[in-house]
Every structure is written in structure tokens, then in C-alpha cells.
Amino acid sequence: MGGSRSPSSGPSRPIEQDPRAALVEPEGSSGDEDDKSKKPKVINDSTQYSAYQYILKRQEDESYYADLSFPVSENSMECKLFQAHHEGILSRLNDEKSLHWRSVECLGRVLNGKEIRTTVVITCRARLEEKRERDLIDSLQALGQNTAKSMAKFPFVFVKGKITRCLDRQPDRLAFMDKQHPLVCGASCGTYIGRNGTGTIGGFVTIEGDPDEGAVYAITNHHVAVPDSRDPVPWMGFGTADDLLRWHSDVPTELGARQESLSELLDIRRSLDSSEYPYPRHYGTDSETYVLALTTQFLQLQADPAEKRERRLERVQQRLMAGGETHNLQASLLKSNLEDLSDRLRRDMIMSVDTPAHVIAAFVDGIFDVPSNVYWGHAKSTLVALLDQRNVARLLDTWLHDVKPGLIVHPSQSDCSTILERLKEDRDHLRRGDGQLLASNIDRPNEASELREQIRNAKDQADNPSSRIIGIVWASSGLGPRGDWSGSCLQEDWALIKLFRADQQQFSNSFSKSPLRLNEAADHFRAVKPWSNPASVAVWKRGRTSNVTIGRSNGVTSSINLDGNYTQEYSVLPPADALYRAFTMGGDSGSWVMDRFGQLVGMVWGGSSSTRTAYFTPAEYLFKWIELEFMTAMDLTPVEDFEPGKRIKLFGTGG
């Protein structure tokens, strides 16, 4: 039974991996898959691992090889045999009570320290007793008994491990955490509020037919952008009026004061003439307009004055107060000017939240200063001026608690803190015994002053998350399985971040191919790679934690049991010369995977702790899903043919 082994116990590895150095193509792989004139070879274990045999000569200790995994060729006889019995294997595992299997993968493994064999690796939550494991293997090897497709000699291995989404990990010194301008693939990102996880910006897209013709979107995982919820974000992001009303109806009655304040504010905002406001799809061009649109979504309701008065009176009847306040409030509701109501609203808000009274007063007064008969254009300019003075997004978050605006920052809050701490460590190394920085050291006269400046800038970034806001969650998939056109299910885990275009923010679908050669020309995603079937091809990615890594996709899908959902996932393993370095690490969630021809292969969402396999969603699926959500939101007729990228375009490439 396979055991777990720390990567640190393996041999030393070079710090740098250069993806331009072409990986040796194992025989029978799809390294030349773009050359349609070449017919795939049907090979077996005696030939498909020939490129890795030199590894067996490095060490005599068999434990060195125990956890190594190698990608399988989709054209091998063993791969086809596994696929023939795939359903039978899953059926027998599911019949076994309390097994708690997490993944079933077909991988190359070293047997007896002598040869690499295609093996079925089954990851379970806990180690199995030796007898139970032996009985299970006997049962699985009995599949296809007395036929040409017998599994009698097929190796099976049970290992302990788990499947995790690649969210958060303390990065090493090579991590890609710093603020980037322009914003590039692989950059750090996180949430502005809520549980601040850290993930990776995969890349950037535009949408053909988008009402906002200049809009640019970043793509990452849902579990990065919305770490507190498994539910999808409807197109346009958090904070639509329907979402707010749904939340409002669920608030406990003991929070009635806050309920009433919310309802009154909704009604007040509805006094603005909405004839020029294209609700619910309003698009802006900078961060203030986006926050304004979000605020308007919070507060937009029907515009019928009679219905407004009716609902106000109904709430007054339900809110009986002593001391004549009910009478005064009811009188104010019947007035057209609403001044008394604004005072009551301000008092309710102050009672409901721990926010300075002058901030609430500024917000409420700003709303009431807008005449009820003005057009949207005038209302917008008034509210934008207010937004320039007060952080309305933070106020609304404090007030509404569970309704969060879904703002995304770069770098993430945890990365800003990490950068600051590391700079302080560097400063401490420069201190002399008397505690003074070596500012006057003739050998390094500028180092201390430069370090002080870096620390000031890092502290300013860490203390001011609003200065790092890059966009808002415009839509997301939620977490869970989704069927494809072939009947299989994959994990769906994506989020679309609409990027703000103020402050000359720029975006580039590119990344340096080497963390140690930043001056070299960057690589760009040029097209979406067709991915109708799994194939073993050389790939690389850039992620926030592990930076640039190279690997090879596996030639057969992995069966995953995550959160009680069974899916078939595509995967990548490290290359032969870096087998103890994982392709992805925590914090690399959302990384885009690229092949050697510059084609976008897919987006990373998780990995296996037992096999160091990284799981990704093919871009072909991803773009189609986003396209369908867009067309549904825009009330467009879906395209029947599967044409990935028809509407979703790689930014900067036209497709």
C-alpha cells in the first residue's frame, strides 16, 4: 500500500524550470497532436515510459519511487483496458460500505523499484486494513476474467489522501504576489470583504455582443471570488434588488429596526425617475460608476407612487411605537418632501450598525438631496460625488452584513501582509547592534532608504484595500458538477470578474516563461485548444504560489468524489525531471494552463494530495458555459452547435 512521502525527502531539484526546454515526448503521446497526418501509435507499458526509465537509475532506495506518478498515453493498450472496465471498477468501489474513496486514477507507477507500470491508484480518506485491501484488489482484478480484456495482471494501489481546491497557501520567495501593471495572467487576487482567500487571475476575456463594448473580464475560480458561498452569482453580480429582497425576507424579526430601515431606503431610492436607467443592466466605465450601479441595484424597486405609499403605510401599521413616534412617522410618509422620514431613517441606521453617525448622515443626506423628479443622469452625478467622499460599499456591507458587493482586489489582503512582513524581516537583517538602520553604511548607502520606502508603500497597500480594488464579481458558476455534451460530469468552478477601467488600468493575456528571466519576451495565449478527449501533452502555467511550472496532461480522465458529487476530471502531472515538485499548490486556483503552441488548455481548480495530480477544467467547456450564462442573461437564443469561443474571446487576440 502506497505511503505518503514529503517532497523534502526527495533529491534536490533546480530552482528554475524553463518551459521552453521541450519535454521529452514519451512514445505514443500526443506531442504532435496538431499534425493530423500522423496516425497515433498503439503502444504498451514496455514502450510508453521509455522517456522516464533513466529516473530508475538515480536511486537504489525503492522508497524513493513510492509516490512517483507518470502520465499515461491515451493510445496505450493499458489505457484502453482501464477505460473498458472503468464503470465496473467504480461500481465495485461504491458497493464497498464505508470505503470513502476520493479518486480513481490511471497513472504510471514504479513497481518493486524496477519498472513503471500503468496502475489504478485509488485514493481513500483513510488507510485500509491489509486484508481488506487485498480482498478489494482481488475483486477488482477479477473483472473481465477469462476474456481477452482480463484485469488479472493490472496493478491496483490504495493510498491515503484527499482532493482539495487550491485555495491559500503560504507562498515561498518565488511566489507571484506583487502588484502588477499591467495586470497579467497569474497575478494574485482575493476578496475585498468576507473571508479573504487568495487565488490566481487566470487570464482575460471579452464577450461578443456585450452591451458594454469595452468591457474586459478576468476569470478565476468561484471558490476564490466567492469563498463564503457554494451558490452561483447571477449575471451582474451581488446585490440585485431581487437578491436583497430575498435576504430581507429571511432576516429574524428581532432585527426589525434594520429591516424597516432597509425597506425605507429602498422606497426612497425608487423616488428617482428610472426612465433613463436601463435596469437591471447598467454598465459604467470606472470604479465609482460600478459602486454606484451596485448601490442602485440594492435600492431599485418599482416606481409606482401609490404602491409606495401603500407599502409604507402597511409597515407603519406593523410598527407600533410608544411616545407618538408612529403618528409622526405616518405623517411624514404621507408628505411629499420626506424630511422627517430621513431623520427617522438615520436614527434607525445608527441603532442598527456600528458605524460613525456622521458617515451615515452623509449617506442618508446624499440620498435625500437628490430631487425626486430628476432624471437618472442628474441623480448619478449627485451620487457619484457622494461616493467620492464616502466609502458607500463598505457602509452597505456593514449595514447589510450578508449581502456583499463581491469586490475583488489585487494583490490579495494576505499577500499584502506577507510582503510587508518580509520587507520588515529584510529591514531587521540590516540593523546594527544599536538598532539603527545602516543608512550611513558606505558599502550600501541607498539600501536602507530604499527599504524604508518599500515598507511605506507596502504598508499603505495593506492598510488601504480600496486602493487595490480591480473589479467586481459579475457572474459565477457556484460549486458543483455540470454535465457536458457527451454525458459526463465535470466540476464547474468559475467566476467572471468585470474589471474597472479607471486609473489607466491595463490587462495582458501574457506571462513570463521563467521567473528568473523576467526581461525575456512573454508568451501570450493565442487560441483555445480543442479538447474533446483527454490527451497527454506538454503544458505549463503561472500561478500565484508556485509561479511558472511545467507538466504533462494525463491521457485518461480521473474519477473524483468531491463533496458527494462524482465527476470525471482532466489532470496534469509534473514532468519527469521535477517529479517531486507539484504542478500546482494552494493559492494557484484559477491558473490558466497553456500548451507549447500558445493555446489555452484549461483552468486549474484543485488537486490530489496523494498523487500530486492537478485538476483542470478544459477551456473549451469553460468558455461554452460562460457563453450560455451570458446568452441566458441577455435573453438571447442559445446556439445549438458547440462552438467554444464564438462569443467569449481571449482578450487581445480577437478569439
Reported confidence tier of residue 463, pLDDT bands at 50, 70, 90: confident
List pLDDT tens digits, range 332-371. 444 434 444 445 544 544 444 444 444 445 544 544 444 4
Phi and psi for 568 in degrees, rounded to 5? -110, 120
Looking at per-residue pLDDT, the higher value among 278 and 479 belongs to: 479
Q: Is the confidence at residue 594, as pLDDT, over 60?
A: yes
Q: Is the confidence at residue 276, as pLDDT, over 70?
A: no
Reported confidence tier of residue 512, pLDDT bands at 50, 70, 90: low
Phi and psi for 155 in degrees, rounded to 5? -70, 140
List pLDDT tens digits, range 166-179. 766 566 656 778 88
Contact 541, 605 (CB under 8 A): no
Contact 197, 167 (CB under 8 A): yes
- Answering whether pTM is above 0.75, one says no
Residue with cell 482578450: 651
Residue 502 is predicted with a pLDDT of 57
Instruction: Enumerate long-range contacts of 384-387, CB under 8 Å, 24 or more apart.
Output: 384/288, 384/289, 384/292, 386/362, 387/288, 387/291, 387/292, 387/295
The three-class DSSP label of residue 197 is coil
The three-class DSSP label of residue 461 is helix
List pLDDT tens digits, range 5-48. 333 333 333 333 343 333 445 555 555 444 444 555 668 888 88
Domain residue spans in the chain?
Answer: 238-405
Reported confidence tier of residue 120, pLDDT bands at 50, 70, 90: very high
List pLDDT tens digits, range 370-395. 443 333 344 444 444 444 334 444 44
Integer-rounded Cα radius of gyration of the chain: 29
Strands (E), 252-320: none
Least trusted range by pLDDT, from 57-71, 263-277, 429-443 = 263-277
Residue 394 is predicted with a pLDDT of 43
Largest Cα–Cα distance of the chain, in whole Å? 91
Q: Is the confidence at residue 300, as pLDDT, over 70?
A: no
Query: Which amino acid is located at 384 in the chain?
Result: V
Reported confidence tier of residue 119, pLDDT bands at 50, 70, 90: very high
